Structure 1
Amino acid sequence: MRTRSVVVIAMPNAMALDIICPSDVFHNANRMMAMDKTANAVSYQVTIVSPTKDLNVVTSSGLVIRCEKTIYEIESRIDTLIIGGFSMDYNWSSQPDLVAWLKENYMGIRRLSAVCIGAFVLAEAGLLESKRATTHWLNAEDLKNKYKGILVNTDPIFVKDQNIYTSGGATAGIDLSLALVEEDNGREMALRVAKVLVLYLKRPGNQSQFSDILLHQEATKKPIYDLQQWIKDNLREDLRVKTLAERVFMSERNFARVFYAEIGMTPCQIY
């Protein structure tokens, strides 16, 4: 089993969720893989670090996170860097040391990511120039107006542009982290982690930060997974069981059986 380094920067006065959610996703992925003992799986060594000399990072809710070290003390290669939010005082230029460190070290990091308004740290370092990015919807206009070269998309839960990932607010960090696990270990593993975390569903990055309807998405195998993606984009179409069965070239009876086996619910219960 290969091990990759995931470093989460606990930003002072950020929402605790921005730090804890990604960390718990990778830790639970490790749990699942340890149970499977899969030889070619990718496991994670998660390190939570501080961007300042103070290892006790106080979040916006008052929760104190004790970091193992500072980001400046990391000597081994970082595979995935996650910036866990940003201070709720919105002083975007308040972390010059971290910005300088990013400018110096970003080339050696395989995946750079930011949860919520952590995107502003990447922006300050110039790493989002000419790239697509998102952030919390409340701060998207500020990101767009302050950094003119960024292609800000206010709608998606998370955005990937080359090796840089940005997400919407708070719990969107879970969706971003699950996507990273899926890249490394496949969709089935990401779904298992989502279930362990008791998530209603694993949301795709292109889902809106504002969603009127959340589709159940637990299928791991074709053709049910592909059908669910089609349903999501065609909610105004005929979604009767007969029609859905025809789309996957099954009889109604077999379709109902396969769908229930994959999802644990009937189509009527979901759609």
Structure 2
Amino acid sequence: MDKQSTIKHIVFLVPPNTTLLTTVGPLEVFSKAIDLFDSGRGNMNFRYQAHVVSMDKGKQINTSSGLPILSEGAYTEIDYPIDTILVTGLGRYLDPGQKGEMLEWLKNQSGSIRRICSVCSGAFVLAEAGLLDGRKATAHWSKNEELSKDFPSIDVQIARIFIKDGNIYTAAGITSGMDLALALIEEDLGQSFALDVARWLVLYLKRPGNQSQFNTYLDCKKIGHPTIRKVCEWILDHLQEDITVEDLAEQAAMSPRNFARVFVRVLRITPAKFINKLRVENAGRHLIETQLSLDEIAYHCGLKTSENLRRQFLNFFEVTPTQYRKSFQSSLSSLYDAELK
């Protein structure tokens, strides 16, 4: 590499008791990119340099799994220009005084940082620093309701994998931090280079940022309310049919009005939106796992027509069904090819 090449400093700002994978997952993605740089791949006009720094004053960062991280030092010791910063979760175990100093530092730095990112509950740190005001953002699915309640000025996107709003990126966590890191690398170096990184790590190149964080089918099995769980399982077996609130209320042995009220209270979503979400997720699995046409998939999943399927995918994922299928299937075939070499 030319000695005049620019260094893009990627800083992982890590709090005490962090979830290990929220840091080491995206760190490994950038580390593999650095390995590929060193082997002659990529744009030789710059290279990444990754730094793990502590939110508090000590070098050792304890993690929730018990395996500590040895950082290069505290954030206060940074003496280089930060290109991208990733704040990992959790950030709630800091001494209040130290936390206030860190938030002030982050606010002061934010104007000169090209990309500001969070993984998992790291979104709360960005929120407390005022960096998410008026923006779309996400966190881990179990924390999104709390994020929305504590910071009403944030447009919290429930169940999104990751979101870009301006130069602010928020990832759901835990493994979605790796999806975000790949997306950042693709922004800088293009799809081909990012695909090389994904191949080495045996990852999908791209999950759409607003793909659901969790599989609604599996989520149905965890519903605590037995009647609503039974109804949801019934829906899964009848997606191809026209389903009304009256049909669901009959399954629950309730009046339609009372059923709709209970359903929203338990799942925080209307029955119609829940059914539509299941249909779109089911269509996504068909797109990845089968070679059925769009019309066939729309019919089997209860979306009726390929045009409605397309409209729903643009609404949920901001990509067409064809782009969704191509993204996943090309990534899978590339990984299989890599394993055969």
Question: What TM-score results when the alignment is normalised by the length of structure 1?
Answer: 0.77
Aligned residues between the structures: 234
User: What is the one-letter code of the residue matched to 1:263?
Assistant: S
Indicate the residue corresponding to 2:169 in structure 1.
165
1:133 to 108, 116, 137: 137
Mapped contact 1:99–1:124 kept (Cα < 8 A): yes
SS at the partner of 1:95? helix
SS at the partner of 2:143? helix
Q: Could you tell me the percent identity over the aligned residues?
A: 40
Greater Cα offset, 100-109 or 89-98? 89-98
SS at the partner of 2:48? strand
How far apart are 1:233 and its partner, in Å? Answer: 11
**CA separation in 1, counterparts of 2:43 and 2:145?**
45
Mapped contact 2:91–2:124 kept (Cα < 8 A): no
> Deviation string for 1:80-112 (max 9, x for gaps)?
000011147699998222111111211011100
1:80 to 80, 84, 87: 84
Please state if 1:236 is matched with 2:298. Answer: yes
**CA separation in 2, counterparts of 1:265 and 1:22?**
19
Please state if 1:4 is matched with 2:74. Answer: no
How far apart are 1:3 and its partner, in Å? Answer: 2.5
Question: What TM-score results when the alignment is normalised by the length of structure 2?
Answer: 0.62
Mapped contact 1:12–1:87 kept (Cα < 8 A): yes
Q: How does 1:214-233 map to 2 (within 5 A)?
A: none
SS at the partner of 1:69? coil
How far apart are 1:13 and its partner, in Å? Answer: 0.7
Please state if 1:105 is matched with 2:105. Answer: no
Indicate the residue corresponding to 1:256 in structure 2.
none
Indicate the residue corresponding to 1:245 in structure 2.
none
Q: For residues 37 and 10 of structure 1, do their structure 2 counterparts lie closer, same or farther at Cα, with a shift above 3 Å needed?
A: same
How far apart are 1:204 and its partner, in Å? Answer: 1.8
Q: For residues 87 and 106 of structure 1, do their structure 2 counterparts lie closer, same or farther at Cα, with a shift above 3 Å needed?
A: closer
SS at the partner of 2:57? coil
**CA separation in 1, counterparts of 2:48 and 2:8?**
5
Q: For residues 87 and 126 of structure 1, do their structure 2 counterparts lie closer, same or farther at Cα, with a shift above 3 Å needed?
A: closer
User: What is the one-letter code of the residue matched to 1:166?
Assistant: T
**CA separation in 2, counterparts of 1:104 and 1:127?**
11
**CA separation in 1, counterparts of 2:295 and 2:184?**
24
Indicate the residue corresponding to 1:35 in structure 2.
39
User: What is the one-letter code of the residue matched to 1:108?
Assistant: S
How far apart are 1:36 and its partner, in Å? Answer: 3.2
**CA separation in 2, counterparts of 1:200 and 1:232?**
23
Indicate the residue corresponding to 1:145 in structure 2.
149
Moved beyond 3 Å, runs of 4+: 36-42, 87-94, 211-217, 231-235
Mapped contact 2:91–2:125 kept (Cα < 8 A): no
Mapped contact 2:85–2:117 kept (Cα < 8 A): yes
Q: For residues 133 and 94 of structure 1, do their structure 2 counterparts lie closer, same or farther at Cα, with a shift above 3 Å needed?
A: farther
Higher strand share: 1
Higher helix share: 2
SS at the partner of 2:122? helix
How far apart are 1:171 and its partner, in Å? Answer: 0.4
Structure 2 residue ranges without an equivalent (≥5): 216-280, 301-328, 337-341
Indicate the residue corresponding to 1:122 in structure 2.
126
2:333 to 253, 263, 267: 263
Q: Larger RCO: Structure 1 or Structure 2 (Cα < 8 Å, ≥ 6 residues apart)? A: 1
User: What is the one-letter code of the residue matched to 1:236?
Assistant: A
User: What is the one-letter code of the residue matched to 2:100?
Assistant: P
**CA separation in 2, counterparts of 1:164 and 1:121?**
13
**CA separation in 2, counterparts of 1:232 and 1:171?**
30
What do you get for the CA RMSD once the two structures are aligned? Answer: 3.2
Indicate the residue corresponding to 2:59 in structure 1.
55
